[in-house]
C-alpha cells in the first residue's frame, strides 16, 4: 500500500478550503486520464475546459478525493479557486520538507539533466529522491510536481521551463531551490526574445529563488557565462561552473567514445577526480553529466553512486531512446528525439547520428517552432550538420523546413512533406536493413506518432531488446 501523501485536513489547512469529509490521498493529479486509486484530483478550470466535468470519471478510476470550487457529491475540499489551491498545496509541500531541493532550467538538456540527476541521487539514497515527471515544468506542472513530493523526501529535483521573460521568476519562488542549474543557453523561443542574451537573462531568473547559502551552477563554456554568473551573484552564496574548458570548476579532462556508443569520462570535481561511463551517446551528454556531478556534490550526495547511475541511465522517450526495428532480412536503428527541437539540440543529435555505424543514415526532421523572424536562417543552417553527419536521405516535415529543402537540393535524397502522416508513409517506403534513423522535431509537429507506429511493429518477443 502506498504511503499517505495528503489528508483532507492537510489539504484544507494548506489551501484555506473546507473538507466535506475525512479522506487520505496517496497521489495528486489534475489530468483525469492519469487518475489512479488513492489520488487527489484537482479540478482546474481553464479557458478550454473545466476539470469539474471529469469528476465522475476521476472517482470511477479510484480517486480518494478532489479539490473543487463548488460542492459536489464526492469527497472533496472546497476552495474558491482551484488553480490558486494547487499553488498553495505546492507551497505547503515545499514548507514541510527538509529535502535538499535542486532546480534545473536551460534552453537544451534540462529534462535529460533532471532525469540523470534524479537517477544519480536515487542511486545513492534509494527511494528518498523525488523529481518532476515528464516535462511538467510550467505554471501548472511545477506546482503539481511539488505537491507530489513526500514529506520525508531527502532530495527533490524540479525542472523549470519558460518561453517568456518573468515566468521563471515566479516558478523559482515556488521551488525555492538550494541548488539552481542552467544547463545551456541556445536559440529557443526566439520569437519572444530579442537575442540570446535576453534568453540568458530569462534563464538567470532561476537564481532569484535560491535559499540562503544556495549554490548556482553555470555552464563555463557558454558565451553567456559571465552574464549568468552576474545574475546569480545577488542570490547565491557560491557559483560553480561546469564544462570542458580547463577553467571550469567541474570539468572533463578526458572523454573517449566506446564501441557501444557510450562515453568514458574522467572528470575533476573540485579537488577530486572521478572516472565514469555515460550510457547515453553524444558530447552534449558529457556536458550534462558534469552539471549532474556538480549538483550531487553541492547537496552532499554520493559521487561514486552518481557515476554508476550515469552508466545505467536509459534513453528517454522522445529524448534519445533507441530501439531496433525489424526491416526485411535485417533491422534498422531508430533514434527517438521526437519530443522537441531547436537549432542547438538539432546539431547535437545530428552529431550523435553521425557517429553511428550504419549502411545509410536517414533523418526525419520536423520544423523548429517559435523561432520568429530568424526561423528561415536557423532552418537553412542545418544543412551543415546534416552533411557533416553523413546523412544520405531525409524527410523534412512542415512549411518552415522550406529553406532547408532548398539548401539540400542536389545533396542527397531529401523530400519535403506537409505533416507527420505524410512523413510516416514516406519513411515506411524508404526504410531498409542497416539504416540508422534520427526522428526529431518540435513537439507540435507530432513526430512522436511516427515513433509510436514504428514501435508497434516490433514483435512482442523482441520488445525486451529495445533500449
DSSP, res 383: H
Fold of 97-312: 3.40.1190
Q: What percent of the chain has pLDDT over 70?
A: 97
Sign of the Cα pseudo-torsion (124, 128, 129, 134, in order) = positive
Residue 462: pLDDT band (50, 70, 90) is low
DSSP string, 408-437: TTTSSEEEEESSHHHHHHHHHHH--TTEEE
pLDDT digits (tens, 9 = 90+) for 77-86: 999 999 999 9
According to CATH, what is the number of the domain 321-465?
Answer: 3.90.190.20
Higher per-residue pLDDT: 294 or 313: 294
The residue extents of the domains of the chain are 6-83, 97-312, 321-465
pTM given for the model:
0.81
How far apart are alpha carbons 406 and 144 in whole angstroms? 44
Same fold: 6-83 with 321-465: no
> What pLDDT score was predicted for residue 19?
98
Mean pLDDT for the chain overall: 93
Residue 118: pLDDT band (50, 70, 90) is very high
> What pLDDT score was predicted for residue 154?
97
CA atoms within 13 A on the CB side of 180: 35
> What pLDDT score was predicted for residue 189?
57
> Is pLDDT at 1 greater than 50 in this prediction?
no
pLDDT digits (tens, 9 = 90+) for 62-73: 999 999 999 999
For residues 3-18, average pLDDT: 96
Alpha-carbon dihedral 297, 278, 367, 339, rounded to 10 degrees: -70
Residue 464: pLDDT band (50, 70, 90) is very low
* Measured CA distances, 263 to 109, 145, 259, 352, 377 (Å): 17, 32, 9, 12, 32
> What pLDDT score was predicted for residue 260?
82
> What pLDDT score was predicted for residue 21?
97
How far apart are alpha carbons 88 and 94 in whole angstroms? 10
Is beta strand 238-243 parallel, antiparallel or unpaired with respect to 215-219?
parallel
> Is pLDDT at 427 greater than 60 in this prediction?
yes
DSSP, res 315: P
> Is pLDDT at 256 greater than 80 in this prediction?
yes
Which of 4-8, 193-197, 355-359 comes out lowest in average pLDDT? 193-197
pLDDT digits (tens, 9 = 90+) for 168-188: 999 999 999 999 999 998 766
Architecture per CATH, domain 6-83, reads as 3-Layer(aba) Sandwich (3.40)
Strand partners, 413: 393
Amino acid at each position: 500500500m502506498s504511503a499517505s501523501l495528503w489528508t483532507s485536513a492537510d489539504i484544507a489547512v494548506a489551501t484555506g478550503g473546507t473538507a466535506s469529509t475525512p479522506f487520505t490521498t496517496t497521489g495528486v493529479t489534475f489530468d483525469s486520464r492519469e487518475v489512479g486509486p488513492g489520488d487527489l484530483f484537482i479540478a482546474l478550470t481553464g479557458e478550454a475546459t473545466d476539470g469539474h466535468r471529469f469528476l465522475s470519471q476521476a472517482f470511477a478510476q479510484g480517486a480518494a478525493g478532489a479539490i473543487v470550487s463548488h460542492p459536489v457529491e464526492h469527497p472533496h475540499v472546497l476552495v474558491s479557486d482551484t488553480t490558486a489551491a494547487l499553488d498553495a498545496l505546492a507551497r505547503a509541500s515545499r514548507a514541510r520538507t527538509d529535502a535538499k531541493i535542486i532546480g534545473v532550467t536551460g534552453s537544451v538538456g534540462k529534462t535529460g539533466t533532471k532525469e540523470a540527476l534524479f537517477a544519480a541521487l536515487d542511486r545513492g539514497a534509494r527511494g528518498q529522491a523525488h523529481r518532476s515527471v515528464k516535462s511538467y515544468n510550467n505554471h501548472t506542472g511545477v506546482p503539481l510536481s511539488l505537491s507530489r513530493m513526500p514529506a520525508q523526501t531527502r532530495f527533490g529535483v524540479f525542472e523549470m521551463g519558460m518561453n517568456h521573460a518573468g515566468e521563471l521568476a515566479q516558478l523559482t519562488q515556488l521551488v525555492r531551490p538550494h541548488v539552481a542549474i542552467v544547463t545551456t543557453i541556445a536559440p529557443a523561443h526566439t520569437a519572444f526574445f530579442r537575442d540570446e542574451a535576453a534568453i540568458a537573462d530569462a534563464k538567470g531568473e532561476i537564481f532569484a529563488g535560491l535559499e540562503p547559502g544556495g549554490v548556482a551552477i553555470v555552464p563555463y563554456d557558454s558565451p553567456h557565462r559571465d552574464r549568468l554568473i552576474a545574475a546569480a551573484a545577488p542570490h547565491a552564496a557560491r557559483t560553480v561552473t561546469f564544462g570542458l574548458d580547463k577553467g571550469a570548476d567541474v570539468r572533463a579532462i578526458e572523454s573517449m567514445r566506446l564501441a557501444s556508443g557510450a562515453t568514458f569520462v574522467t572528470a575533476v570535481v573540485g579537488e577530486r577526480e572521478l572516472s565514469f561511463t555515460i550510457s547515453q551517446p553524444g558530447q552534449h551528454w558529457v556536458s550534462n553529466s558534469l552539471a549532474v556531478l556538480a549538483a550531487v556534490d553541492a547537496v552532499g550526495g554520493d559521487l561514486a553512486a552518481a557515476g554508476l547511475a550515469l552508466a545505467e541511465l536509459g534513453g528517454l522517450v522522445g529524448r534519445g531512446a533507441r530501439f531496433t526495428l525489424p526491416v526485411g532480412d535485417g533491422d534498422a536503428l531508430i533514434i527517438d528525439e521526437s519530443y522537441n527541437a531547436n537549432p542547438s539540440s538539432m546539431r547535437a543529435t545530428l552529431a550523435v547520428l553521425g557517429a553511428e555505424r550504419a549502411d545509410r543514415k536517414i533523418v526525419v526532421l520536423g520544423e523548429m517552432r517559435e523561432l520568429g523572424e530568424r526561423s528561415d536562417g536557423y532552418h537553412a543552417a542545418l544543412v551543415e550538420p546534416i552533411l557533416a553527419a553523413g546523412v544520405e536521405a531525409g524527410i523534412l516535415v512542415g512549411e518552415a523546413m522550406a529553406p532547408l529543402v532548398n539548401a539540400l537540393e542536389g545533396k542527397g535524397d531529401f523530400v519535403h512533406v506537409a505533416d507527420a502522416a505524410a512523413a510516416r508513409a514516406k519513411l515506411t517506403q524508404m526504410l531498409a536493413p542497416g539504416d540508422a534513423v534520427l526522428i526529431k522535431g518540435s513537439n507540435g509537429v507530432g513526430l512522436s506518432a511516427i515513433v509510436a507506429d514504428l514501435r508497434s511493429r516490433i514483435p512482442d518477443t523482441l520488445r525486451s531488446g529495445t533500449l
